Chains A and B, each alone.
Chain A
Amino acid sequence: MSTRLAEGGRLIDRSQAVKFTFNGKHFKGFAGDTLASALLANDQMMVGRSFKYHRPRGVVAAGAEEPNALVNLGKGGTFEPNQRATTTEVFDGLAATSQNHWPSLEFDVGAINTYLARFLPAGFYYKMFIHPRPFWKYIYEPFIRQSAGLGKAPKDRDADTYEHFHAFVDVLVIGGGIAGLAAAREAGRAGARVMLIEQTADWGGRAVVDGVKLGGKDAGVWVKDTLQELETMPNVDLRRRTMGAGVYDHGYVLAYERLRDHVPEMDGPRHRLWRIRARRTITATGAIERPLSFAGNDVPGVLLASAVRDYLVNFGVSVGDRTVVVTNNDDAYRTALALHSHGLIVPAIVDARPQGGGELAAAAKAAGIRVANGMAVAVVKGGKRVTGVTLCLQAGEGAPLEEIACDCVAMSGGWSPVVHLWSHCGGKLSWDDDQAMFRPDAGRPPTGADGAPMVIAAGTANGHLATAGAVADGWAAGLAAAKAAGHAGKTGTAPKGEDAAAAAPLPVWLMPQGASYAKRSKAWLDFQNDVKVSDVQLAAQEGFESVEHAKRYTTLGMATDQGKLSNINGLATLSNALNVTIPQVGTTTFRPPYTPISMGAIAGVARDALFQPVRKTPIHDWHEANGADFEPVGQWRRPYAFPRKGESVHDAVMREVKNTRTNVGLLDASTLGKLVVTGPDAGRFLDMLYTNMISTLPVGKCRYGLMCNENGFLIDDGVVARIDEQTWLCHTTTGGAERIHGHMEDWLQCEWWDWKVYVANVTEQFAQIGVVGPKARDVLESLGGMDLSKEALPFMQWADGKIGEFDARVYRISFSGELSYEVAVPASQGRAFWDALLKAGEAHGIMPYGTECLHIMRAEKGFIMIGDETDGTVIPQDLNLGWAISKKKDDYLGKRAQERSHMTDPNRWKLVGLETLDGSVIPDGAYAIGDGVNANGQRNTQGRVTSTYFSPTLGKGIAMGLVLNGPDRMGEVIEFTKGKDVTVKARIVDQVFYDKAGEKQNA
């Protein structure tokens, strides 16, 4: 059984017990435990079920590479699925449940799949479930979906918060093992601004666990000394629980700091996403031990040798009383020696190498441990827990030689440098035959904005598996990175590491090498996704020869650990099956993040109201306080209508239209874009931007202008006012200000850069209020001030002056067809002016109105709306706006495009008014049905509705639409789609339904 030893455990604090639950059972751990170590300390060996076959799964690793020990953690707003127990620090009150089983972890119905495994090889689903066709959607797929997935879905809203930090550093060191520490210290000494991050809660990495010597000192002492020096450096920032998540172009690195996953009661954000720009990044990310592929290597109790050692040394946990060590390299002997020194039994070290190991092997033998060279595990005994192993010759086919009873198997298939971050941004790898591993190819590094290498791999992550090489490599990387970042201060000498003389590892990709199909189909490569040696071999047999094909066909390496344990073993298996070398097969692409990071952290603080900033006019608060029904328009939220208590939105709109048409309405038009264009060449410039002539507009007058893009399509419209000899004020649509300002700057800076023109966006400097309706003048005049009479300020003119106490610029323009003044006042006075108007208007029946009322009134008047009558495919000529296209100008943006044959085609749909025969409202978006069908069998059309409303003024439905030869077909009745097989008949009429002569707006 697995248990806590009476003493030992360098990371735990035995004086601080913590209580937690697993599947409702109460357990005890210590501060410093991971959930995995605490579970093992309580003899909870089985922790979950695998993805496909629902086989029992136990902890196999001790770090980020863990594929099995995934749990549902927490509840309610802090629930999280798929948490790795090996990287979850326990805390008092932690509640975890295991995943992917029903009804319980111990008895899982889905485990029947393991008995059906022979019918469910790699890619089985591509070959099955084809007939009968409806069964896939209704039967097979729902079943597969239910049995797939891992953790439960969160239900509640996330109770935690997240944040983003930025950092700019010379040297970012990822990994706080001895190589990373040496690198950070040297770069720091050189004077570089350094950030050193470590994904776990502790510094020192493997060296401390393994107790190696550095400069004559214990690794633990060296780490402590080095940290002390780093902490005194003001130019060095040290962060634990911070993982290098991804390396991106131009030195951009994402780091993921888990601030309070281990202390949930603490205040503040849960995770912090660091966006770092680093001149140089050092990846000192260590190495991951590989499993060995033998039958039954997935039985709970089979762990990586290094993990067994970690649990023992770091947490004082023995995974088993009797541990068989099986290896192809020297490192695993450390596990045997550690177990032995803790008084635990190691019945045998099974070393696949015929010649055995080096100094560590000699030490094991000297300690009295049996070492079996040239041997292999034929099969592991046990179901939910290891009960023993059968040994055989590695060179043979697996004939059993002897059985050894044990409750733990510690396996080591060698080590793979963690090259993920090196590879994210294009760093290439080379195959190291001697050490049987991929390592960063320093000759083909990821390059930055300047084309120079931007990442330096260091230590074991760079293929220096031994202490001396690793620490010296880290030191050199720190120096090189600081130098590359322009820092060359006084530095120290390389630390010296000491290593036992090791024998070469033997690449072992299958154990025994001639294993039968029965064994190969029980030798797991990917523990979570249930991919076995036989599956990869089947993929190769079926022609899935590319490593990407094999991966996707078998799902190897696609689990939540992204193949940290399985990838190399898998591609070695593939290369053997294809009879090519491993480098010929190559690796799959390493993609960020290194381990999964929370969506919450990626989103940061941008949630709810902060998701996207809301732009507010100076009058916004009044709208909110007075029950406005808002609609999002661009980044603004504009009042759609102002329903009164007990009034529906529709009724409110009808009331607002009627009141504005008979009395007076008030519109907050502040969102309209306002661009000041000034300079000696401003007139010439605006003549190029607008389709009509702007330069000839007299000072004091307004003109409606149209703007097209170079493709000829209408992109914006608005009233332009000539302010003085060389200044114009251009109104744009709501939300159009920034876009049109950018458009103007583009042409000014990139095409006509010698023209003398300035553009300023003054949209937010002014509040603009429409006072609209027959009594508009009365309201304004009652405030006193400037002369607003018809004579002093006729339609389509503007004037500056005072209205009451307010500095005002008054435009006599109308988007409703009514007598209308649009009054701009400084933004700071906007709300006061609004209030004053409401007060002054009381006697005249003034009411505010919203965007829907605005829409209806402009439709009644036959005015177009950008976004309704236009959709990016409409040219002014389609909208009968030929009068707004100057014939005198040689050029304007879009003119050449409008000369193209498709634009001058007489059969383009043109704008008309539409009136239903029955008075009903044509639905939004309806199409006019044409005769017959086209070559693709689609019903022909002859037009479509662009704006359609119930007009309270006319008491019936009105619409505008684009219709084939429309203006030539006045009076003709055509049919529009209304619903499934339902149509509505409408007559083609003039688009102006209200006050055709314009008497009201001119009044």
Chain B
Amino acid sequence: MLTLECPYCGVQADETELSPGGEAHLKRFGPGSDIDDFEGYLFMRENPKGVHFERWRHAYGCGKWFLAARDTATLEVFGTYPAQTTEPPQALREAISAKRPGWRWRDFA
């Protein structure tokens, strides 16, 4: 039963207020894109055992989408941040490094 802080309304939201939305920072590939890229965008997932970045919506709260950095093996939450970004904030990446030295997720480390 997770709790995640909604970065918009500041609420320490219970999992029952939230809707999970899968992997974060997916780059959309549209018409004309390479089939590999499109397949990767729609289907291929990091699915790591460890540090992961994912999408959540504060569905039964403020309704906003946000992103979370979480360890899928311990469920520790490193932080949450607004969805309007293409990469995790630097401060959060450093915070993860402090707890999980050498972590890597796609091109982020």
Contacts and interface: CB of A to CB of B under 8 A. Distances in A.
B98 to A, nearest CB: 11
Interface string A725-754: 000000000000000001001100111010
A896 B31 contact: yes
A574 B40 CA distance: 49
Nearest to A890: B31
Given A753-B84, A900-B35, A746 B65 contact: yes
Contact of A749 (B42, B75, B76, B83): B83
B33 interface: yes
Contacts, number: 69
B34 to A, nearest CB: 10
A896 B59 contact: no
Contact of B1 (A248, A710, A742, A891): A248
Contacts of A252: 1
Interface stretch (A121-129, A447-455, A836-844): A447-455
B103 to A, nearest CB: 13
A420 interface: no
B76 A450 contact: yes
B10 interface: no
Contacts of B71: 451
A42 interface: no
B75 A750 contact: no
B1 A250 contact: yes
Interface in B35-81: 35, 38, 42, 55, 57, 59, 63-65, 71, 74-77
B106 interface: no
A745 B63 CA distance: 8
A895 interface: yes
B31 A895 contact: yes
Contacts of A900: 35, 38
A753 B76 CA distance: 28
Interface residues of B, number: 30
Given A249-B2, A896-B32, A451 B84 contact: no
B84 A749 contact: yes
A171 B3 CA distance: 17
Contact of B31 (A248, A750, A891): A891
A277 B3 contact: yes
A891 B1 CA distance: 39
B1 A749 contact: no
Q: How large is the interface on A (under 10, 10 to 19, 20 to 34, 35 or more residues)?
A: 20 to 34
B38 A896 contact: yes
Nearest to B43: A711
Contacts of A451: 71, 74, 76, 99
Contacts of B14: 277
A899 interface: yes
B30 interface: yes
Contact of A449 (B35, B55, B76): B76
B54 to A, nearest CB: 12
Contacts of B42: 710-711, 897
Contacts of B30: 890-891, 895-896
Contacts of B33: 896
B61 to A, nearest CB: 13
**Which of A450, A749, A750, A899 has the largest number of chain B CB atoms within 10 A?**
A750
Interface in A389-409: none
A250 B3 contact: yes
Contacts of A890: 30-31
Interface in A226-253: 248-252
A449 B65 contact: no
A745 B66 CA distance: 12
Nearest to B78: A451
A746 B1 CA distance: 24
A890 B4 CA distance: 38
B29 A896 contact: yes
A760 B71 CA distance: 35
Nearest to B14: A277
Contact of B28 (A249, A447, A751): A751
A896 B28 CA distance: 10
B21 interface: yes
Interface in A440-459: 447-451
A449 B3 contact: yes
Interface in A403-448: 426, 447-448
Contacts of B59: 742
A748 to B, nearest CB: 9
Nearest to A426: B74
B76 A750 contact: no
Contacts of A250: 1-3, 75
**Which of B30, B38, B64 has the largest number of chain A CB atoms within 10 A?**
B30
Nearest to B41: A710
Given A451-B74, A753-B84, A895-B30, A249 B99 contact: no
Contacts of A449: 2-4, 75-77
Contacts of B55: 750
Contacts of A745: 57, 63, 65
Given A448-B76, A449-B3, A450-B77, 6 more contacts: A449-B4, A450-B76, A750-B84, A890-B30, A891-B30, A896-B38
Interface of A: 248-252, 277, 426, 447-451, 710-711, 742, 745-746, 749-751, 753, 890-891, 895-897, 899-900
30 contacts: A250-B2, A250-B3, A251-B3, A447-B74, A447-B76, A448-B76, A450-B76, A450-B77, A451-B71, A451-B74, A711-B42, A742-B59, A745-B57, A746-B57, A746-B65, A749-B64, A749-B65, A749-B83, A749-B84, A750-B83, A750-B84, A753-B83, A890-B30, A891-B30, A895-B30, A895-B31, A896-B32, A896-B38, A897-B38, A900-B38
| Nearest 9 Cβ contacts at the A-B interface | A252-B1, A451-B76, A753-B84, A749-B65, A895-B31, A750-B83, A896-B31, A891-B30, A250-B3
